[in-house]
A and B are shown apart, each in its own frame.
Chain A
Amino acid sequence: MPNSPSQTTSARVGLFVTCLADMFRPSVAFATVKLLEQAGCNVEVPEQQTCCGQPAFNSGDNDTSRDIARQTIDAFDGYEYVVGPSGSCIGMLHYYPELFEESDPYHVRALELKSRSFEITSFLFDVIGMEALQEQLNKLQFNQKVTYHDSCSGLRQLGVKQQPRELLSQVQGVELEEMEEAETCCGFGGTFCVKYPEISNRMVSNKTENISNSGATTLLGGDLGCLLNMAGKLKREGKTIEARHVVEILADMTDIPAIGEADYDLAKAL
């Protein structure tokens, strides 16, 4: 049951940065902070977080996954909500209960973390609610034809589909052109893309073809893994379509060059 805005105002939110935003695109994490603060949340960034542990989990290394799960559960102890700009990483947090025996105190804590952790567009739309966001979103302008890639974990594990589209529909000038097979995997798949590069390449090539055919000038998505993969392929193919995380539009941070575009120095921008 979504909470009403009054309940979430000044909620203490722990930002789950995600390793890819931390490493490749801090502006995505800054955009997430901005959106949360606009929604009235008090945002903190726990120091003890690193990665959600998915590389270990998907490689069958459950001992390491458990160690990282404990570290993350401890780091985000006491926050009302945990929010991150990735369906895949938040989805991993939702797998944590599977890693612990029911008798382990971390099992209950993992369940509890799961109940309060959200992907950013889902948090904004499902928890905060459109009413509290509409005014701010209506002020924004982004005159582009955009197409939206539904990342697998967000879509199928967390049910993220309409949320980013609803939020985008409030931004002036945005024209959404759905591509064919928007719900088909882009071929990133974590280590899959380097373990089976040829298959991954075929999958991302199908994706960029669908993106091009949509007529969109900007590709949007909610997961940096997929976006780095698709942007990297679009660049290699010499296409001019820009790729961005959806929060960059929603937080009005489109002056920052798109993913894989010419030099941008965060150090100077800050």
Chain B
Amino acid sequence: MQINTPFFKQRASEALHDENLQKALGNLKAGFPEKRAIAVSRMPEFEDLRDQARDLKNHIIEHLDLYLEQFESKVTENGGHVHWARTSDDANKIILDICKQVNAKTVTKGKSMVSEETGLNDYLEKNGIQPVETDLGEYILQLREDHPSHIIAPAIHLNLEDVSEAFHKNHNRPKSDDPAVLMQEAREVLREKFVAADVGITGANFCVAETGSTIIITNEGNGDLTQTLPKTHIVITSIEKVVPTLEDMTLFQRLLARSATGQEFTVYNTLSSGPRREGDQDGPENFHVVLVDNGRSEMVGSEFQDMLRCIRCSACMNHCPVYGAVGGHSYGWVYPGPMGSVLTPKMIGIEKGGMLPNASTFCGKCESVCPVRIPLPKLMRHWRQDEFSKHLQPKAARYGLAGWAFLAKRPALYKTYTRMANWFMKHWAGKKGRIEKMPLAGGWTDWRDMPAPQGKTFMQAWKEQQKNGGSH
């Protein structure tokens, strides 16, 4: 996927002026956060579960090698294959090879953000294999040659009219703007694809070490058809998704559904434990799991280790006022919102991704709703430290900061400077009590007035008052 992250500011500006997008984002704001709040209020032990989940994830990350090896040996025991992919390219090649081995022409796909990360669709298409997205949102995006703007509601940026248009153009049927009709249409078109597919590719929400199982947690059931009907099922997922036991998995299931959509339980929770066994009614003949690293193992032991706890619930972006204002595409790559602002610089480099960890007020809302208590603002701050030490921030910001720091470390000089600035601003404002325009303050005054100072600094006024006998 093309990296547009360096253009965050321009894209955000366009997004703010895009009426359709703003309408769609308005729906998001009213949807997920409210449903989550209700679900959480019905579960008194929710906060305790968050602690447990944080601790368990920390334990897993500390013993990642152990659990991954256990998972691999169980998958193998069950008759499946595990493939290790250090990079996105490695993952794509492995999947293409498997597809070639079974002479695949078409593959169906369940929703997978890791496959977005590796750019799998483009890669398969370039190599003569047609992937068909079967998650409704992803399917709509594929028709529009678009990309997800949200990790669980990929087409959240679109409105009904967009969908109606895309279906009309691609399905050769009369145009409809009835959601039920459109849904039925997608169902009919996709049914044929499910049956025809040679390979089904899904992601995995978790990989269970004790049983060698992967699980997909969805609301549409498309993933089930994707992985059950074709002869070959390939799971593409990342190394931090492993959990020790089935019971451990249930802890995350409880948190995930509530944090993501506010459901008590997601509709489909489907485990895959290897290929079809003798006597099984259905299931694939071949079962492959591709475990993608793509920079994650480097995060173990680094200041970004906490990010590996992420279970991709999307609560951080659903509650983020910046995401809510500009939408997911502004972030310019696969992962948007606060979790994306931490992950993206890791995956595309801080030189290209530096805009994102800066585009936060550090309001802390994301951390307050994260089911595994990732300190997202702190991790964004780590990126800013990295940028600062590499002199990557814009010159004006660096010099401004250095000038301010020089003063702030010299209290006497600082007092003189603030007295002068105070006097200047007071006189610039005149009688109005506020400033509507001021040199070098356009970032502020282009959008709002600047309340004027009261004429003296506190330190100045306090000193004078103390001299005059201290009455106040």
Chain A residues at the B interface, C-beta cutoff of 8 Å: 17, 19, 21-27, 29-30, 33-34, 45, 47-51, 53, 55-62, 64, 67-68, 71, 152-153, 156-157, 183-185, 187-204, 206, 228-229, 231-233, 235-236, 257, 259-267, 270
Contacts and interface: CB of A to CB of B under 8 A. Distances in A.
B346 interface: no
A30 B458 contact: yes
A156 B447 contact: no
A193 B445 CA distance: 11
Contacts of A188: 361
Contact of A61 (B9, B405, B431, B444): B405
10 contacts: A51-B408, A55-B404, A58-B362, A60-B385, A64-B408, A152-B365, A189-B360, A231-B449, A263-B433, A266-B454
Contact of B454 (A64, A71, A153, A264): A264
B361 A152 contact: yes
Given A24-B451, A55-B404, A260 B363 contact: no
Given A26-B454, A152-B361, A231-B449, 18 more contacts: A22-B418, A22-B457, A30-B458, A45-B462, A60-B388, A60-B389, A64-B409, A71-B411, A153-B362, A156-B364, A156-B365, A184-B365, A189-B363, A191-B397, A196-B322, A197-B444, A203-B361, A260-B434
Contact of B401 (A33, A56, A199, A261): A56
Q: Which of A59, A68, A192 has the most CB of B within 10 A?
A: A59
B317 to A, nearest CB: 14
A199 B452 contact: no
A191 B397 CA distance: 9
Interface centre among A58, A64, A198 (most CB of B within 10 A): A198
Given A47-B411, A196-B359, A262 B433 contact: yes
A152 B361 CA distance: 9
B364 A193 contact: no
Interface in B358-409: 358-365, 367-368, 381, 383-389, 393, 397, 401, 404-405, 407-409
Q: Report whether over half of chain B's contact residues are helix, strand or loop; otherwise say mixed.
A: helix
A261 B431 CA distance: 9
A24 B447 contact: no
A262 B449 CA distance: 13
A153 B364 contact: yes
A71 B409 contact: yes
Contact of A27 (B12, B454, B465): B454
B454 A24 contact: yes
Most buried by A among B16, B325, B359: B325
A26 B325 contact: no
Contacts of B4: none
B69 interface: no
Interface string B1-28: 0000000010011001000000000000
B27 to A, nearest CB: 15
Main secondary structure of the interface of A (DSSP, over half): helix
B267 to A, nearest CB: 30
B174 interface: no
Given A56-B401, A64-B405, A199 B433 contact: no
B321 interface: yes
B447 A197 contact: yes
Contact of A270 (B446, B450, B464): B464
B66 interface: no
B401 A260 contact: no
B327 to A, nearest CB: 11
B459 interface: yes
A154 to B, nearest CB: 11
Contacts of A49: 411
A257 B389 CA distance: 44
Contacts of A34: 472
B458 A48 contact: no
A26 B452 CA distance: 12
B454 A204 contact: no
A64 B407 CA distance: 11
Contacts of B409: 50, 64, 67-68, 71
B301 to A, nearest CB: 18
B44 interface: no
Contacts of A50: 407-409, 411, 414
Given A195-B358, A197-B443, A232 B454 contact: no
Contacts of A29: 458, 462
Interface in B314-361: 321-322, 325-326, 358-361
Contacts of B368: 156
Nearest to B453: A24
A228 B450 contact: yes
A14 B415 CA distance: 18
A23 B457 contact: yes
B321 A203 contact: yes
A203 B60 CA distance: 38
Contact of A236 (B362, B383, B393, B448): B448
B102 interface: no
Contacts of A21: 458
A257 to B, nearest CB: 6
B326 A30 contact: no
Contacts of B457: 22-23, 26
Contacts of A51: 408, 414
B434 A194 contact: no
Residue from B447, B448, B457, B462 whose CB has the most chain A CB atoms within 10 Å: B448
Given A262-B432, A262-B433, A270-B465, A192 B361 contact: yes
A59 B397 contact: yes
A184 B321 contact: yes
Given A21-B458, A45-B459, A235-B449, A203 B472 contact: no
A201 B448 contact: yes
Given A264-B455, A270-B461, A62 B385 contact: yes
Contact of B362 (A56, A189, A198): A189
B456 interface: yes
B421 interface: yes
B388 A59 contact: yes
A50 to B, nearest CB: 5
B387 to A, nearest CB: 6
B472 to A, nearest CB: 6
B286 interface: no
Contacts of B401: 55-56, 59, 61, 64
A196 to B, nearest CB: 6
A193 B431 contact: no
Nearest to A88: B362
Contacts of A24: 451-454
Contacts of B459: 17, 22, 45, 47
